[in-house]
Amino acid sequence: MTEPADLLSRMERRVWGASEGPRSPWQEHALRFVRTVVILIRDLAVGQLTLRGMSLVYTTLLSIVPLLALSFSVLKAFGVRDQLQPLLLNLLEPLGENGADMARRIAGFIENMNVGVLGALGLALLLYTAISLMQKIEESLNYIWHIPQPRSLTERFSRYLSVLLVGPILVFSALGLTASVMNMAAVRQVLEIGTLGQIVEVAGRLVPYVLVIGAFTFVYLFIPNTRVRFGPALIGGAAGGIAWQTAGWLFATFVATSAQYAAVYSSFAIVLLFMIWLYVSWLVLLFGASVAFYIQHPEYLYLGSGEPRLSNRMRERLALSAMHLVAARFLAGERAPTLGEFTRLLGVPGHVLGVVLDALESRQLLLQSQDDPPLFLPARDLSLITVMQVLETVRSAGEARFLSPGAMPAPPQVEQLLDRARSAVDSAVGKLSLRELVEVSPARSPTGQDELQVRQDPPL
């Protein structure tokens, strides 16, 4: 009888182990799907998505009234101010009767907020509170996409205001146009036909899903400080939208069958349920962003918690491979690689590769162009860059003043052994330049073993 531990071990080797033979395309897709599901469950269980969801809940409670007041202040000029409460009712529908009460309270707060009475300081605080939520969302999505640096202050300010001011106008314009079309006499006559009427009825039920998927897709494309492809963003939006609608239905069922919360918490029950629903909504949004990220970057699908760490052997291998790729394209007159191309060609996550590229750039072996995204170019003549310089760069990366070989004494026998190892490596590849490394091609020796030979141009 197979033990559970043995079964789990076999499944782990089957999903994450090396392939014993070639896989068909459908097997590759199925394996990637299984790995994605496992990693998403791991991120939800032990990752920071839950913590960031809680942070977004706290920021939302502080900024929801200023945020909606700023967004819908523009709509008052278009005569659609009465549409605010129906929209809030749709968003808070999973809360049941408590949702209607909460929507009325939020709408009342917004109506009572008079921007003219606030003054300059109050208006500045209003804008800061509203924009802080957008900033928190960007920070959370940048964390999911492994982007350490945010946008510039001016770019963030322009993007956030465009979302807060222009977004509601576009949403209500689309809803108003749809309502006008549905009220046309010709459209009503067409809808009286049995089959077409049933199709429109089914489509009407799917409209909420389509709207939520479109909103999620827009967030995944627009907010992260990186270039997100439309395909992964749409898949993530579909996963997040379906999960959000499903979570809303489940949460509404939970609220309807949990009347004891009102008896225990009294008037605080509505606030408690509202906070729980906010947490579920933000968690679903972050879940969809994770789906989009893993679809676009399958190289991040690795088992194990935390960020992967490179061994010394992998650092040397990765540094030489990266420099070889840059030098080969430079000599061939081709376009220099970007960080995205490095991750795709070398199969290494971008943040892991960035450690090696930063070390090479700090020693002036590589440089980045001003393009968007930046291109990686050799910082000097390829004949002046030796293989030994590349190896020494990655070996000494991370050494500090108080954490270096000179600050850590070793026994004489160890020092002699390390000197002999360095001398052996230097005598083997010390004089080999990066240009020569690129011009070297593998060939078969008479003994059947691989050897390196330099390509010679044919005589004229």
What are the pLDDT digits (tens) for 245-263?
888 888 888 777 766 665 6
CATH 1.10.10.10 residue window(s) in the chain: 329-399+410-454
Per-range mean pLDDT, top range of 18-32, 47-61, 142-156: 47-61
Q: How far is CA 61 from the centre of its chain?
A: 25
Give the position of tokens 């009465």.
82
Which residues touch 197 (CB under 8 Å, ≥6 apart)? 191
Q: How large is the average pLDDT for residues 409-425? A: 83
pLDDT digits (tens, 9 = 90+) for 95-137: 766 667 777 777 676 666 655 555 566 667 767 777 778 888 8
Q: How confident is the model at residue 453 (pLDDT cuts 50, 70, 90)?
A: very low
**Domain covering 329-399+410-454, topology:** Arc Repressor Mutant, subunit A (1.10.10)
| The one-letter amino acid at 394 | V
The structure's pTM equals 0.69
> How open is the CA angle 346-349-351, to the nearest 5 degrees?
125
